[in-house]
Structure 1
């Protein structure tokens, strides 16, 4: 991953020049022959193939045909760029891999959402089970009012497949920090998701996050950054370095989805997060399932040993809330306590 992946990407023009290059001369010849065979006019200058397009639908069709024609190895070697001018007139093009380019043009609507930050934050309350008071809020990415509709999971999935994951993840973190500064009073925690794979160098990649918190006047102690549920822990040492970078700034960290998939008790002991979030699948009807009850008790005991605070996700019934409280769970979140609402509405109830 490079710093370029955190920079805004270029928009697609309705017409222009589509440039392709590769470090493999044989593949370049094969690509040129492919265009000639399909009666697509092509120019070849400075080891770059260029074709003109007069509509985005035409460009998408060409790219999808290329994707079917060439194997994964070949497609992985192709790099693409768009310009209104020739290569000679614009020598410093912004090149991206063909697989990333294809995903961007296939999902131009989601690309616009990421590029122009056409999203907002919703907030869901997190309750202190002992006092029955709001402890903090989790901030969630949602479409803006009267803007393009999208599914947040699909947006992040597209971002990952198109090389825009770091850009989207960073924008989402900063948006959550800024909106929380306006809506949530000091002393309340703000739980903000992040993708470890979008952060290749913690101190460098998180600099904008730390700067945003300082400029918004948010107390670092009030920020809790959590590993999102879609992220697999492939490199635990790398994740440790990210959590440490947050903690060195006075911020807190949370490990999500304990009891499901990749998040195990051994991972919990090794990472020693400030907060532990029990997966909703373990919480759902836990008052009726002995296996789930045993898992909850194990997580609570392990968290107690390492000094972590436990939060139960997905509480939808009174019985679930009462059971986890009896088990020693301190915090809870779910529709039983409140659904996510636009963050600007939080100020009406939080202050």
Structure 2
């Protein structure tokens, strides 16, 4: 299966090798070469590319800081890559700031490249029966690897241009984990960042291929848009939703009532599920204004046949409140914390 460069593994940053640079204006590249020679850095230009040899990874931070200091107004057009000493293979040219981010945090690079993460599962229940209908998959560091905070890893991936790679690998890892522990019919809520999917017909091929190889029905997959970013391209997001749906998968809108996830967005996208932001659920039993907002969301969602899920439930009073307001589903620490293995797993196979 063909994958774009955004979703394929990167070559490791070797202990010594070359950094390569290009610029949209060749005159700026010559200027950089001049600054480097004057300051004792050895570099040369060949085929409109500046080559700089480094003998230790530890020297790259100060070197990139030097470039940033000497080309403050010309960094936008500067791209770079690294290669080994033979200069035969290197990553695609990326923006300077992305290169600097990757070089400055090699441990995060290793986590993404070597997939040093796993997923824990948090149960979601039907409010009318109390039965578990699905699980949300939440990234966690592997016990035998470097420890990290998931939010920091995703922030690094955005700053370094590795968001598509990480998001794709996280989706695939969630599906494989679900195949080990969940029986058919149990929903698997899997997060995704819409900005990581530039062409849904192409970018999601590996996701659905993994589901097939694991013997998982796409009807059991719920792809949940994590919208910490602005909807800069609502048309693309709608296409992503439609692509998921065309394969038989379900879609969910997360954090409704916070940031850019509004009722209007819900009505435009018409997902199968909406998850209500925990800030609205917290102490809702004590706040009449929150209850009024929640009641409005339930009513508007119901008019479109959208299933409502209250997340962040930590108190029995909150659980009772959202049940009385007509919510369909609930999730939170009161119901169950994320765990590596569900209480009663049902083993099924998955080919690697």
Residues 267 and 123 of structure 1, relative CA distance in 2, 3 Å threshold: same
CA 1:239–1:285: 2 relative to 1, 3 Å: same
Alpha-carbon distance, 1:66 to partner: 1.5
Range with bigger deviation, 95-104 or 106-115: 95-104
Between 1:15-24 and 1:206-215, the stretch displaced more is 15-24
Counterpart residue number, 1:202: 200
State the match for 1:54 in structure 2. 55
Query: How far apart are 1:91 and its partner, in Å?
Result: 7.9
Give the stretch that moved more between structures: 188-197 or 41-50: 41-50
Superposed CA offset, 1:302-327 (max 9, x none): 11000000000100000000000000
Alignment CA distance shift 1:184-1:93 (3 Å): closer
Who is 1:78 aligned against?
A: 78
Let me know the Cα RMSD of the aligned residues: 1.5
Confirm or deny: 8 A CA contact 2:13 2:83 kept in the other structure.
Answer: no
Helix, strand or coil at the partner of 1:17: strand
Counterpart in the other structure of 2:7: 6
Where 1:349 maps in the other structure, the secondary structure is coil
3-state DSSP of counterpart to 1:237: helix
From the superposition, tell whether residues 92 and 40 of structure 1 become closer, same or farther in structure 2 (CA, over 3 Å): closer
Task: Check if 1:68 corresponds to 2:61.
Answer: no
What is aligned with 2:264? 266
1:113-154 deviation per Cα after TM superposition (whole angstroms, max 9, x unaligned): 001100001100001111111111000111001210111011
Q: Aligned to 1:329, what secondary structure does the other structure show?
A: coil
Partner of 2:349: none
Counterpart Cα distance in 2 of 1:56 and 1:92? 16
Secondary structure of 2:261 counterpart: coil
- Partners in 1 of 2:89 and 2:121 — Cα distance? 46
Cα shift at 1:64:
2.1
Are the structure 2 counterparts of residues 91 and 48 from structure 1 closer, same or farther at C-alpha, using a change threshold of 3 Å?
farther
Counterpart in 1 of 2:149?
Answer: 151
- Taking structure 1 as reference, are residues 93 and 243 closer, same or farther at Cα in structure 2, changes over 3 Å only? closer
Structure 2 counterpart of 1:237? 235
Name the residue aligned to 1:36. 37
SS in structure 1 at match of 2:67: helix
**1:248 maps to which residue?**
246
Q: CA shift at 1:93, angstroms?
A: 6.1
**Distance of aligned partners of 1:91 and 1:288 in 2 relative to their CA distance in 1, 3 Å threshold:** closer
Report the equivalent of 1:349: 344
Answer yes or no: is the 8 Å Cα contact 2:83–2:90 preserved in 1: no
Q: Cα 1:210–1:93, aligned 2, differ >3 Å: closer, same or farther? A: closer
The match for 2:350 is none
**2:130 corresponds to:** 132
Cα deviation per residue 1:214-262 (whole Å; 9 max; x = unaligned)? 1111111111001014233221111111001001111100001111110
Distance 1:284 1:133 in 2: 22
Matching of residue 163 in structure 1 with residue 161 in structure 2? yes
TM-score normalised by length of structure 1: 0.94
CA distance in 2, matches of 1:216, 1:76: 44
Deviation at 1:92, TM superposition (A): 7.2
CA distance 1:288–1:68, change in 2 (3 Å)? farther
Moved more, 95-104 or 164-173: 95-104
Q: 2:306 is matched with which residue? A: 308
Runs of 4+ in 1 over 4 A off after TM superposition: none
How far residue 158 of structure 1 moved from its aligned partner, in angstroms, is 0.5
SS of equivalent to 2:223: strand
Counterpart of 1:182 in structure 2 is 180
Residues in 2 aligned to 1:250 and 1:132: alpha-carbon distance in whole angstroms: 26
Q: Would you tell me which structure has more helix in proportion to its own residues?
A: 1
Answering whether residue 121 of structure 2 is matched by residue 123 of structure 1, we say: yes
